[in-house]
Structure 1
Amino acid sequence: MAKSREAAEQLAQLTITIRRDIIFGAYAPGTWLKLSDLQQRYDASAFHIRRALDQLKNDKLVDHVANAGFRVATLDVTARAETLFVRTVLERSAAHLITARANTDDIVELRRLAQLFDASITEEGRQAQASANHNFHAYLYSIARNVVLSETINEMRNRSGQFTAGRWRSVEGLQASSRDHFAIITAIEERDPYEVEQAIVNHIKAF
C-alpha cells in the first residue's frame, strides 16, 4: 500500500512538472514529445511518462496522434481571447482595491517575491519560475482583501496558462515579465490606481 501511494505521488508530481514546462513555454505548441527525451529530462520511466502524457491529453495540453506519439497541443485562439478578456476584467477591478489597501508590509513582501522571480530566471526548466510567479501574483491579489475575487483571479490565471503566447520561451521574455512585476509595485507605492491598472493590463497582454 505504501509503495502504491508513493508511486501515485511520484506520477502526480511528474505530471505537474511536465504541465508547468508546457504551460510556461519550455515546449512550443505543436512540438513532438519524444519519449526517450522526456525520460532523460525528467528522470522517469517510460511507463510513468506515458501515464503523465495521458493525463495531460485529458487536460487538453497535449494531443495523441496514433502511430506517431504525443505533441504539445496548438492554441485555441477563441478560448485564449475569451479567457484573457475575463482575466483583464477581474484583474483591473482588483487594481483599485490593491492600491487602496496595500500597506508598507505588503509592498515589502511584493518586492521580495518579485526579486525571487527575478533570481529564478536563469534556472533550467520552468519549475522555479512558475512557482515564484504564482507566489507573486497570489500575494498581489490577496491584498485586495476580497477572498472570492482573489480566488477567482487565481483560477483564471491557472486556466489561461495553456494559452501563453510564448513570452517565457526566452530569457528576454522572462526578464520582461520581471520588469512588469516591479512596475506594478512602483505604481502601488505611488498610490496611483490607474497606473497599477495599466501595468496589470500590459502584463496580461504580453502573456
Structure 2
Amino acid sequence: MSTARRKTRRALADEIAEAIRLGAFRPGEWLRQIDLEEKFRATRFDVRTALNELVVRKAIEHVPNRGHRVAEIDVETLKALREVRVLIETAAVPAIVARIDAATLARLDDLARAFGAAVETGTRAEQSRINSDFHHLMYRLSGNPVLEELIWNLRDRARGSTLTFWPSHEALRRSDRDHHAMVAALAARDAEELARLVAAHILKDDP
C-alpha cells in the first residue's frame, strides 16, 4: 500500500504489543494481517515478521491454517507468571536504586501524578499508557536491556488472561498509591522497601 512504511521487526512488534496492552485487541481475538497493515501503516512482510516475534514472546499464538490470535492463559498460568515477575522485577531493584537521579525521580513523580489524575478523569487507554510509561522509565534504570526486555515480555504475556485488570476503581486507586510509594522509596534510596512495593504491586491487580 502506498502509505506503508518499513519498520523494524522489534519496533512493530512493540507497537502491536502496546495495542494489546491498551486493550485494542482482546484475549483470544484473531489478528487479521490486512487490518494490522492498515492500522500500523506497515508492509505485509513487516507485519508477518512482527507477528512471528510476538509468537516467540508468547504474547500471541499461531494456529496452523487459521492465523494468529492474542494468547489466552488460564488462572494458574497467570499466577505462575506473576510469581516469576516478582522474582525478575525485584531483582532489578538494587540497580534501579543505585542509578536513580534527581531528573528521573522528578519525571517518575510527574508520571505518578499524571496517573492519579487519569484515575479520576481519564480513559482506560490513558491510564494504561501512563502506567506503562511509569514502569518503563523505572525499569530502564536497571541498565540491563535484556532484563528490561524480559520484564516486558512477561507483562505482555500476562495480557492473555481473561481476568479483568484493574477490575474496580479502588484497584486503580491502589495502583496510584503504589506509584507514589515507589517514588518515595526511590527518593529515600530504600531498596528493601521498593522491592516490597514492587512485589505487592504485581500480586495485586496491576496490569
TM-score interval w.r.t. the shorter chain?
0.5 to 0.7
Name the counterpart of 1:132.
Answer: 130
Per the normalisation by structure 1, the TM-score is: 0.65
When residues 165 and 15 of structure 1 are mapped into structure 2, their CA distance, relative to the original with a 3 A threshold, is closer
Deviation of 1:106 after TM superposition, in Å, equals 1.5
CA distance in 2, matches of 1:139, 1:161: 20
Aligned to 1:90: 88
Partner residue, 1:20: 22
Runs of 4+ in 1 over 6 A off after TM superposition: 13-16
Amino acid at match of 1:197: A
What's the secondary structure of 1:110's corresponding residue? Answer: helix
Inter-partner Cα distance in structure 1 for 2:73 and 2:88? 23
1:138-149 aligned at under 5 Å gives the runs: 138-149=136-147
Q: How far is 1:140 from its partner?
A: 0.4
Normalized per residue, the structure richer in helix is 1
Structure 2 alignment gaps of length 5 or more: 6-14, 30-34, 40-50, 52-58, 62-69
Measured in 1, the distance between the counterparts of 2:160 and 2:75 equals 11
CA shift, 1:109, in A, is 1.0
Q: Quote the RMSD (CA, aligned, Å).
A: 3.4
1:21 and 1:181 map into 2 onto residues whose CA distance is 21
| 1:120-154 CA distance string (max 9 Å, x none) | 22323x21111111110000001111111112112
Structure 1 unpaired stretches of 5+: 7-12, 34-47, 61-71
- Alpha-carbon deviation of 1:196? 0.5
Q: Shift of the alpha carbon at 1:118?
A: 1.6
Partner deviation per Cα, 1:41-91 (whole Å, 9 max, x = no partner): xxxxxxx7xxx9xx9xx937xxxxxxxxxxx99750221122112111110
The CA distance in 2 between the partners of 1:86 and 1:76, in whole Å, is 16
1:106, 1:175 → 2: CA distance? 23
Aligned residues: 164
Say whether the 8 Å CA contact 2:21–2:159 is kept in structure 1. no
- Structure with greater Cα Rg: 1
Give the corresponding residue for 2:168.
170
8 Å contact kept, 1:167–1:206? no
Partner of residue 107, structure 2: 109
